[in-house]
Structure 1
Amino acid sequence: MPLAQHLRELRNRLAKALLAILAVTIAAAFYYKSIINLFTRPVLDSVGCPTSFAALSRQTADTTCARITINGLLAPFTLALKVSLMAGVVLASPVWLYQLWAFVAPGLHKHERKYAYAFVGAGVPLFFGGAFFAYKVLPKTARVLIDFTPHGVDNLLPLDDLLDLVTRMVVVFGLSFEMPLLLVMLNLTGALSGQRMLGWWRGMIVGITVFSAVATPSTDPLTMLALAAPIWMLYFSAVVFSLLNDRRKARREAERPGDDETSDLDLRPQDIGEVESVSASQALPAQPDTDDARAPGKTT
Structure 2
Amino acid sequence: MATNDVEKQDPLESMYTPDNVEDDEEEDGESFMSWIDHLEELRWRIFKSIIAIAVGSVVAFIFREQILYILELPLPKTVNAITHGKPVVTGITEGFTVFLLISVAVGFIMALPVVLYQTWAFISPGLLTKEKKYAVPFILAGLILFAAGITVAYFVLQYPVQWLIAFASDSFAALISAGSYFTFVAFFMLAFGIVFEIPLVLTFLAQVDLITSQTLRKKRTVAHISMWIASTFITPGADIYSPIFLGVSMSFLYELSIIFIRITKK
CA 1:223–1:90: 2 relative to 1, 3 Å: closer
| TM-score where L is the length of structure 2 | 0.78
8 Å CA contact retained: 1:131, 1:174: yes
Distance 1:95 1:166 in 2: 25
1:245 CA drift (Å): 5.1
Alignment of 1:97-112 (within 5 A): 97-112=116-131
Quickly say closer, same or farther: Cα 1:152–1:182, change in 2 above 3 A. closer
Question: What is the match of residue 36 of structure 2?
Answer: 4
Q: After superposition, where does 1:70-85 map in structure 2 within 5 Å?
A: 70-85=89-104
Contact 2:217/2:258, CA 8 A, preserved across alignment: yes
Written as runs of structure 1 = structure 2, the 5 A alignment for 1:127-276 is 127-151=146-170, 153-216=172-235, 217-220=237-240, 223-244=242-263, 248=266
**What secondary structure sits across from 2:167 in the alignment?**
coil
Question: Once the two structures are superposed, what CA deviation does each residue of 1:177-218 show, in whole Å capped at 9, x if it has no partner?
Answer: 111221111111011122221111111111122223333435
Per-residue deviation at 1:137?
Answer: 0.9
Paired residues of 1:105 and 1:113 also in contact (CA < 8 A): yes
CA RMSD of aligned residues (A): 2.4
Which residue is equivalent to 1:40? 72
Decide which structure has greater helix share: 2
How high is the TM-score relative to the length of structure 1? 0.70
Match of 2:139 among 103, 120, 124: 120
Change (3 A) 1:243 1:167: same
Amino acid at match of 1:219: D
Map Cα deviations across residues 48-72 of structure 1 (whole Å, 9 max, x no partner).
34569xxxxxxxxxxxx97621011
Q: Residue type of the partner of 2:153?
A: A
SS in 2 for 1:192: coil
Aligned partner letter, 2:64 = Y
Report deviation, 1:112. 0.4
Match of 2:20 in 1: none
CA distance in 2, matches of 1:6, 1:67: 49
Is 2:35 aligned against 1:16?
no
1:136-157 deviation line (CA, Å, top 9, x unaligned): 1111111111112152631111
Question: 1:233 aligns to what SS in structure 2?
Answer: helix
- Asked if 2 retains the 8 angstrom alpha-carbon contact of 1:66 and 1:154, the reply is no
Q: Work out which of the residue numbers 78, 86, 105 in structure 1 matches 2:105.
A: 86
- What letter corresponds to residue 26 of structure 1 in structure 2? V
Question: 1:121-164: CA deviations, max 9, x gaps?
Answer: 22222111111111111111111111121526311111011111
Aligned equivalents of 2:247 and 2:44: distance in 1? 42
1:69-111 alpha-carbon deviations (Å, 9 max, x no partner): 1011122222222222222222122222211111111111221
Distance 1:152 1:211 in 2: 30
**Contact 2:72–2:86 (Cα < 8 Å) also in 1:** no
Distance 2:107 2:239 in 1: 33
SS for the counterpart of 2:87 is strand
1:30 maps to 2:62: yes
C-alpha contact (below 8 Å) 1:21/1:89 kept by paired residues: yes
Equivalent residue for 2:5?
none
Bigger-Rg structure (1/2):
1
Structure 2 match to 1:259: none
Please report how far the alpha carbon of residue 232 of structure 1 lies from its aligned counterpart in structure 2 after TM superposition: 1.7
Change (3 A) 1:234 1:98: same
Structure 2 portions without partners, runs of 5+: 1-32
- Aligned-pair distance for 1:225? 3.3
Alpha carbons of structure 1 residues 51 and 156: separation in structure 2 relative to 1, 3 Å: closer
Deviation at 1:242, TM superposition (A): 3.3
SS of the aligned residue for 1:43 comes to coil
In structure 2, the CA distance between the partners of 1:233 and 1:153, relative to structure 1 (3 Å rule), is closer
CA contact (8 A) 2:74 2:161 kept: no
